[in-house]
């Protein structure tokens, strides 16, 4: 059986910088019930492995999870209620960071712009109360570094 705690601990390099509760039952339940979150987790784990192997390309397994995840996100964006859900926000945040991590700044910008719009429609960052406001921190942690890097790069060119 898949060890969710081990899987979750490898989801983001930023998780190492903050306190992570080892038993996040709500997150684990979402992960097992929501196909987009499930593929997001697998995408993050596999892309991290791809980066560690240093080949500079995404493996076929990573591309498969990315393709499935993008398809699921596109389906969600067809419904305002689904588009504004907590899990969609988490997934788009992760897509933005993943794109930034692999150097696909065009995709990163699109995901950040989409996330900005979704969060705005939800009522702003302060409206994100999932899991004792951890989603606020997660969204800021994913989006702010990418936005900051873009701003600095734009100023240097």
Can you give the length of the chain in residues? Answer: 157
Which of the residue ranges 6-20, 94-108, 125-139 has the most confident prediction, judged by mean pLDDT?
A: 94-108
Mean residue pLDDT of the chain comes to 76
Cβ-based neighbours of 89, under 8 Å, separated by 6 or more: 115, 118, 119, 122, 128, 135, 139
**Cβ atoms within 10 A of the Cβ of 8, count?**
20
Tokens of residue 134, six digits = 């951890």
Measured CA distances, 28 to 51, 59, 131, 142 (Å): 25, 26, 12, 20
> Among 13-17, 26-30, 50-54, whose mean pLDDT is lowest?
13-17
Contact 65, 44 (CB under 8 A): no
The model's pLDDT over 103-150, given as tens digits with 9 standing for 90+, comes to 788 998 899 888 888 988 988 888 887 665 677 877 777 666 655 665
**Other residues' Cβ atoms within 10 Å of the Cβ of residue 21:** 11
Note the pTM of the prediction, 2 decimals: 0.70
């Amino acid at each position: 059986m898949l060890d969710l705690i081990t899987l979750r601990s490898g989801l983001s390099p930023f998780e190492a910088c903050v306190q992570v509760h080892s038993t996040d039952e709500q997150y684990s339940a979402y992960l097992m019930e929501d196909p987009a979150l499930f593929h997001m987790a697998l995408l993050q784990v596999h892309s991290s492995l791809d980066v560690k192997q240093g080949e500079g390309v995404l493996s076929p397994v990573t591309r498969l999870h990315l393709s499935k995840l993008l398809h699921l996100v596109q389906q969600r964006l067809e419904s305002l209620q689904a588009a504004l859900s907590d899990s969609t926000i988490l997934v788009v945040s992760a897509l933005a960071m993943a794109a930034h991590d692999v150097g696909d700044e065009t995709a990163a910008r699109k995901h950040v712009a989409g996330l900005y719009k979704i969060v705005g429609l939800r009522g702003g960052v302060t409206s994100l109360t999932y899991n004792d406001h951890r989603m606020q921190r997660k969204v800021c942690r994913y989006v702010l570094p990418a936005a900051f890097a873009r701003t600095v790069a734009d100023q240097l060119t």
